């Protein structure tokens, strides 16, 4: 991920409504939610939400697909992962020891590199 791309994603998420929308859409993976439903749940006018969704789409954080009259938005989990990786990647270049604790922090909820699907059922 390039800096310019990261800046887009960071500014998209650096806004309360949009951050909440992204989290909402993450919760609704893989089905997604229609634009109107998102606006209703966030208690934001539909046109305001529309511009927020446009910002997030431009940043690559979400994707849209028309389904009859509705437009279904879905979180792009890969984008979140890429951004998270970007934030700690630099330090890894020369010194893996610096970001190793990140793995440790995430590992409790997501056992790394093994039968994650089964082992994590106790969560």
Q: Which residues bind a copy of itself (CB under 8 A)?
A: 3, 6-7, 10-11, 13-16, 19-20, 23, 26-27, 29, 77-78, 80-85, 87-107, 109-117, 119-120, 123
Task: Please tell me the distance from the alpha carbon of residue 35 to that of residue 78, in angstroms, as a whole number.
Answer: 21
CB of 36 to a copy of itself, least distance (A): 23
Residue that is written with structure tokens 């993450």 in the block: 26
Q: 34-73 mask for DNA (x: CB under 7 A)? A: xxxx-x----xxxxxxxxxxxx--------x-x-xxxx--
Task: Please tell me the distance from the alpha carbon of residue 41 to that of residue 32, in angstroms, as a whole number.
Answer: 13
Do residues 70 and 35 touch, judged by C-beta distance below 8 A? Answer: yes
* Binding of residue 15 to DNA (CB under 7 A): yes
Q: Which does 2 bind (CB under 5 to 8 A by kind): DNA, a copy of itself, none?
A: none
CB of 59 to DNA, least distance (A): 11
Instruction: Please report, as ranges, the residues that interact with DNA according to CB under 7 A.
Output: 11, 14-15, 17-18, 34-37, 39, 44-55, 64, 66, 68-71
């Amino acid at each position: 991920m390039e800096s310019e791309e990261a800046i887009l994603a960071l500014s998209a998420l650096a806004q309360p409504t949009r951050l909440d929308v992204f989290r909402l859409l993450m919760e609704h993976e893989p089905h997604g939610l229609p634009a109107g439903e998102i606006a209703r749940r966030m208690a934001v006018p539909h046109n305001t939400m529309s511009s927020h969704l446009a910002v997030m789409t431009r940043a690559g954080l979400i994707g849209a697909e028309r389904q009859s009259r509705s437009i279904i938005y879905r979180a792009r989990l890969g984008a979140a992962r890429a951004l998270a990786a970007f934030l700690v990647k630099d330090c890894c270049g020369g010194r893996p020891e610096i970001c190793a604790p990140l793995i440790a922090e995430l590992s409790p909820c997501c056992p790394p590199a093994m039968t994650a699907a089964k082992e994590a059922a106790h969560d």
